């Protein structure tokens, strides 16, 4: 029997790095929230897998090549690791919204892929995002604890009426606050 790990799923833009209205198109445009790196370093020894799940429709829209999107992800992982943190996996949807794929949040495909690849128990996992679509995707995957951070789009998203059937979720100012409250390092 394969041991199943809990995971902390993190959206990238708006949670770890700053959102950009015209998309993050290169590494030069990446602004990492300092508190996010510190928070990830603090939980490095936790039993949770650390997994980034990110929609990058700039690829599907023809704004950046797939290779550039993966390069940005890998450089971000390197920064986190250099600081003393870890990332166990990065799962990215490169599709445009009109492609109707199964991996674009709010659909749960990225979570199912991560669960299969990394032996993750979704029911014991946590999803932290800055958009309602992040929360919906986590809940659709069977994740019971979901949280919205007020960085990125979060402050605007929390003002929206939740879609019908959406389960309650927790709200935190930052990723650091969310991780501090949701898990014990």
pLDDT at 184: 61
How high is the mean pLDDT of the chain? 95
Q: Is residue 3 pLDDT above 90, yes or no?
A: no
Q: Among all residues, which ones are annotated catalytic? A: 11, 13
Q: Is residue 45 pLDDT above 50, yes or no?
A: yes
Residue-wise pLDDT tens digits, 82-116: 999 999 999 999 999 999 999 999 999 999 999 99
pLDDT at 1: 45
Query: pLDDT band for position 185 (50/70/90)?
Result: very low
Those residues whose C-beta lies under 8 Å from the C-beta of residue 9, and which sit 6 or more positions away, are: 51, 52, 53, 111, 114, 125, 126, 127, 128, 138, 143
User: What is 7-182's CATH number, 3.40.50.1000, 3.40.50.2020, 3.40.50.300, 3.30.2320.80?
Assistant: 3.40.50.1000
């Amino acid at each position: 029997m394969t041991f199943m790990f809990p995971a902390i799923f993190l959206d990238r833009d708006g949670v770890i790095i700053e959102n950009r209205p015209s998309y993050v198109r290169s590494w030069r445009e990446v602004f990492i929230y300092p508190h996010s790196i510190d928070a990830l370093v603090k939980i490095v020894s936790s039993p949770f897998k650390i997994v980034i799940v990110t929609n990058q429709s700039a690829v599907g829209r023809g704004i950046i090549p797939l290779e550039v999107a993966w390069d940005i992800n890998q450089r971000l992982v390197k920064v986190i690791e250099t600081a003393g943190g870890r990332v166990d996996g990065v799962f990215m949807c490169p599709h445009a919204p009109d492609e109707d794929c199964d991996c674009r949040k709010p659909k749960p495909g990225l979570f199912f892929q991560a669960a299969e690849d990394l032996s993750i128990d979704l029911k014991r996992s946590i999803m932290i995002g800055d958009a309602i679509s992040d929360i919906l995707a986590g809940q659709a995957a069977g994740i019971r604890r979901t949280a919205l951070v007020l960085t990125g789009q979060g402050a605007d998203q929390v003002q929206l009426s939740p879609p019908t059937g959406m389960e309650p979720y927790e709200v935190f100012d930052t990723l650091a606050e969310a991780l501090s409250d949701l898990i014990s390092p």
